[in-house]
Amino acid sequence: MPSPTTIRRPLSLLLAAGALSLMLALDAAVRVTALPPYVAVADSGAAAAAAKMLVAMAQPRQDDAASAVDGPTTTDSADNGTYTVVLPTPTPQGDIYYLGGLVMADGIRVYGIFYGNHSSHTMNTIARFVSGFSKSGWWSVLQSYNGSNGYIGSELSWAGTYHDSAYSLGTELSGDYTTNLTRTAISAQGWTPDNNRDIYAIFLASDITETNYGTNCVDYCGYHSGTMDYRHTAIITDATRCPGTLPAPGQSKGTPGCMPLLWRNQTDPAYSVNRDQHADSMITVLAHEISEIATDWDQAWADSQGLECADKCEEYFLDVQNANGTSPYNDAYNLDLGDNGKYL
């Protein structure tokens, strides 16, 4: 699984129209970026070998040791043939430290709130991922994080689904819409909120514009935040709205976007491991946000710049499996959750 570049901003107050509402403003926003500079080179073969990409889930440690990693590669086709994109070797950004606060030590429940046009396949794929996430080695790393309230537990569950297919708040969202949307979902589904355990993940359809911290797909792909009513909310943008492109041969950068690199430059929305770029791209950001909420629930783990654990990876992957074939990378994955599916 990748972890997109993120930024952290201070807490701030949001004065909502007609009522005071404290918003624990942008903890971490996944920025829309072309990522670090690429190098596009000629490829003598028809397709590159399976990509070797690093994921470096930052583990709690107090040293500055770093291991060397070869720069990964990916391929794409252009008018003048197939070429290879060589990504840079990741640069260590420094350790994260314990700040004295709380992690999510109780059984974590994720509620999915799908806003706009989402297929049942997309919603079910995301629910299946969350249901199996705690079985992964990634989650085992997260369980090494502790706070004043203990260690992160082994339980992570998909607690419910709500779909607002009627676009009840329109297609342009801003302000404290997350509270209104979450409150509606809780009431409609009969959920019982518990701020010590709950994460409300709001998935925005590809035709939704969100402008709380700039503009989604222009300034960020997703972020996690919260309000007085609902402490932790993750906002996830459908990357098919802004996939971005790989760099052309001889160019150093492609266009910025939110789609994982291995699935860029494709027009088929089924071109991803679960045959659903909507779901697969949002899972990328969701995994990032869950990891950060769990480890930094209340001023627990971050580095000297305020970056959280998933901020340390910046679009690098563990060894990618099944990356060759007639359609390179269509079936690529690096996280196998058994009955809960494969993901990149």
pLDDT tens for 130-168 read 999 999 988 999 999 999 999 998 999 999 999 999 999
What pLDDT shows up at residue 159?
A: 98
* Separation CA 180–CA 316 (nearest Å): 35
What pLDDT shows up at residue 265?
A: 75
Tell me which range, 44-48, 93-97, 175-179, is most confidently predicted by mean pLDDT.
175-179
Q: Which two tokens stand for residue 92?
A: 């260590």
Q: What is the mean pLDDT of the chain?
A: 74
3-state secondary structure of 316: coil
Q: At what angle do helices 120-133 and 277-295 cross, to 10 degrees?
A: 30
CA angle 258/264/266 to nearest 5° reads 130
Q: Which two tokens stand for residue 286?
A: 């969701």
Burial of 132 (0-12, 13-18, 19+ CB in 10 A): buried
Nearest residue to 119 (alpha-carbon basis) of 69, 152, 163: 163
Beta partners for 48? Answer: none
Burial of 339 (0-12, 13-18, 19+ CB in 10 A): exposed
pLDDT at 47 over 80: no
* DSSP string computed for 76-100: EEETTEEEEEEPPPPPP----EE-S
CA angle 139/145/147 to nearest 5° reads 135
Cβ atoms 220, 214 nearer than 8 A: yes
Q: Using the 8-state DSSP alphabet, how is residue 280 labeled?
A: H
Cβ atoms 114, 123 nearer than 8 A: yes
Q: Using the 8-state DSSP alphabet, how is residue 171 labeled?
A: S
pLDDT at 46 over 60: no
- Convert the pLDDT of each residue in 234-290 to its tens digit: 999 999 998 888 777 777 677 888 888 777 777 788 888 999 999 999 998 999 999
What pLDDT shows up at residue 241?
A: 92
What global pTM score does this model have? 0.77
Cβ atoms 74, 87 nearer than 8 A: yes
Burial of 326 (0-12, 13-18, 19+ CB in 10 A): exposed
Written as one letter, the residue type at 176 is D
First-to-last C-alpha distance (Å) of the chain: 5
pLDDT band, very low/low/confident/very high, at 110 (cuts 50, 70, 90): very high
Nearest residue to 317 (alpha-carbon basis) of 138, 188, 102, 100: 138
pLDDT at 316 over 70: no
Please give the share of the chain, as a percent, with pLDDT higher than 70. 69
Q: Using the 8-state DSSP alphabet, how is residue 206 labeled?
A: T
Q: Which two tokens stand for residue 294?
A: 């769990």
What pLDDT shows up at residue 318?
A: 63
Q: Which two tokens stand for residue 152?
A: 């992160």
pLDDT at 57 over 50: no
Q: Which two tokens stand for residue 163?
A: 């779909």
* Separation CA 326–CA 68 (nearest Å): 32
* Separation CA 301–CA 309 (nearest Å): 7
Average pLDDT over every residue of 29-41: 40
Contacts of 111 (CB under 8 A, 6+ apart): 159, 160, 161, 162, 185, 191, 198, 199, 200, 201
What pLDDT shows up at residue 270?
A: 87
Q: Which of 86-90, 136-140, 200-204, 308-312 has the lowest mean pLDDT?
A: 86-90
